[in-house]
Amino acid sequence: MDNNLHYEILKPPPFLDDFVESFWYLQNQSDEEKEVVVLPDGRIDLFFSQSATLAFHVTLLGIETRPGKANIAARRTTFAISFKPLAVEYLFQGSFAHLLGKTQNMPVDFWNFSADDLHNFEHCCKKAAEKIRLLLPAEIDNRKRKLFDLIYASNGALSVKQLSEKVFWSSRQINRYFNQQLGLSLKVYCNILRFRASLQHIKEGKLFPEHNFADQSHFIREVKKLSGVSPKELKKNQDDRFIQLSTLDT
């Protein structure tokens, strides 16, 4: 990874497992901005950021279905919370369909965070976990919990029909839920997770399908669709431009 980029990641406490995938921290320690490509990963991200030229701000990023360019400003520090889809309904109590592939500015005092919090990653994680704990619902629809558990455990490899049968929830109702809450179908979401799971293998030089792709051409086609380049080009990761690939363990 670029030596000027400092990255840390922590898993949330177990009581947040249904809603939060990770807390992470990214600093661009250079005096120059860094252009990166952000790949679809099935997450909803909440960013608390400040840089040398931008005041403290809070932004929310919906699920992405295409690669997109982004600039990490010079001397920028970002604390982020990566949410699982259940957070949309149960923590934010709304729909993020309008945020598909888009960002939304949040109130600068959202969840009572400020620029002072960004000096310490561990502090940010504890503060965020406590805030989310207060928002946790008393109950969760077990069909939805089981559905997402199966999706994550299989890295999106199970078909819509298989998932529907396992959770006793019709495919039509599941797709209606996904479209209303996230702005995309269950199949598209599963394809994103399958692609994301392939990133580790691609980084290790395994340029062939390992997650229920029909064949090599299908694998290449899906990788190109979601990253904009072939698996071989993605593996090269020239100039560490694919930021999520750079932060994976080798």
The number of beta carbons lying within 10 Å of the beta carbon of residue 206 is 13
Please check the confidence at residue 111 and state whether its pLDDT lies above 60. yes
Which residues in the chain are classed under CATH 1.10.10.60? 142-246
CATH class of 5-135: mainly beta
Spatial contact of 75 and 134, defined as CB atoms under 8 Å apart: no
Query: What is the per-residue pLDDT across 153-202, written as a single tens digit (0 to 9) for each?
Result: 999 999 999 999 999 999 999 999 999 999 999 999 999 999 999 999 89
Please check the confidence at residue 250 and state whether its pLDDT lies above 70. no
pTM score, whole prediction:
0.95
In the chain, pLDDT over 70 holds for what percent of residues? Answer: 99
Given 1.10.3720.10, 1.10.8.60, 1.20.120.640, 1.10.10.60, which CATH number is that of 142-246?
A: 1.10.10.60
CA pair distance 105, 245, nearest whole angstrom: 26
Which residues in the chain are classed under CATH 2.60.40? 5-135
